[in-house]
Amino acid sequence: MSVSDEAKPAARAVWHGQGVQQCMSAQFPLLIGFVLLPYSIQEPTGNVNPRGAYRGKAFDSVRPARYNRAMQEDGGIYKGFLSGNALKLFACVCMLIDHTGAILFPETAALRAVGRLAMPLFAFTFAEGCFYTRRRLTHFMLVLGIGLVTSAGFSLAEGALRGDIMISFTMASLVIWALDSLKRGVFRRDAKRAALSAAGLLAALALATWVCCFSSVRIDYGLGGVLLPMTVRLLDFRSYGGKGLAAELHQPALTALLFTVCLIAIALPRGDMQFLSLLALPLIVLYNGKRGKLRLKYFFYAFYPLHLALLAAIYLALNPAYLSALFA
């Protein structure tokens, strides 16, 4: 394997800082938005456990200390047998195969095909994690930090600005939490909170639209990749005290339908191979609504940058000319 003549000048340009001023001016509004929006989306306070509504309890009836216990005991609307950890582990394997093909064996399409299952599984489990986390700002900064580091690596390798899936999920978390806060305000009849949350939701959607559609950064999966996780809890009103029809809307079948429609919208402009992402749906249907017995959150977040670093090191060892092009 060798580096193309076209790639070398681009790599040198990025490494030596050409276009840095353009990059910073274009992304300054993005950075400001990332800093300000988490503070405008309030974290749950008091005795809050959204899952409590599934157990016939008032929305605020379960103390935070019981939060993880309730999460483990009650699967909610999901009655399968695969935990969130199991879905993530399968997604990690698919992602490793995909990136191995992309970096080391780019002509082997079968490896890339297997990798199409990873993104939907990560998007689904990420949405569930956003719903349950009690440390939103910490969660946000962790995802954003990993995304900035790995996206810088991709941008350096490709010679063009790119935001990877972690950047997509960073923006998705803002949309999810703004929508969560809006639902809380509506069902608590808190007009002030509802109005502020609606403004936060519009701001999050506007930011995602600008970054994905109008900025100079190529975002993985575009706006669809940002909106896909939102579909997981879009119809969930029961957790916020919804009754009757509002409560019945949150069903596995309707959630799967919304998720599928968004996956198809993502796949349409990207070609036949991306439609293989629909093969992840049977696994999602088997989700049991529980995290799993082991606390593996930080393992999954560490796995993403570490496996990319390992594959990059192998590639550079096999292609020293590429490394020489960066420093030339």
- At residue 14, the pLDDT reads 38
Supply the DSSP symbol for 49: -
- 141 with 74: CB under 8 angstroms? no
CA distance 285 to 81: 9
- 7 with 319: CB under 8 angstroms? no
Question: Rg of the chain's alpha carbons, rounded to an integer?
Answer: 21
CA dihedral defined by 129, 132, 134, 135, rounded to 10 degrees?
Answer: 10
- Taking CA atoms, 228 is separated from 40, 47, 163, in Å, by 22, 29, 16
Reduced to 3 states, what is the DSSP secondary structure of residue 219?
strand
215: tokens are 């900025």
- At residue 327, the pLDDT reads 64
- Residue spans of the domains in the chain: they are 7-45+80-327
- At residue 328, the pLDDT reads 62
What pTM did the predictor assign?
0.82
CA distance 50 to 216: 38
Q: Would you call 106 exposed, middle or buried from its count of C-beta atoms within 10 A (0-12, 13-18, 19+)?
A: exposed
Q: What is the pLDDT along the chain (328 residues), one digit of tens a residue?
A: 444 444 444 444 433 344 444 444 444 455 555 554 544 455 555 444 444 333 333 333 333 333 444 444 556 889 899 999 999 999 999 999 999 999 999 999 999 999 999 999 999 999 999 999 989 999 999 999 999 999 999 998 888 999 999 999 999 999 999 999 999 999 999 999 999 999 999 999 999 999 999 999 999 999 999 999 999 999 999 999 999 998 999 999 999 999 999 999 999 999 889 999 999 999 999 999 999 999 898 899 999 999 999 999 999 999 888 777 766 6
Comparing CA positions, the residue from 27, 59, 2, 20 lying closest to residue 217 is 27
Reduced to 3 states, what is the DSSP secondary structure of residue 213?
helix
Instruction: Return the biggest CA–CA distance within the chain.
Output: 67
CA distance 28 to 321: 34
- Taking CA atoms, 141 is separated from 144, 147, 148, 171, in Å, by 5, 10, 10, 11
- At residue 254, the pLDDT reads 94
**Ordered DSSP codes for 141-204:** HHHHHHHHHHHHHHHHHHTS-EE-HHHHHHHHHHHHHHHHHHHHHHHTT-HHHHHHHHHHHHHH
Percentages (nearest 5) of helix, strand, coil residues in the chain: 75, 0, 25
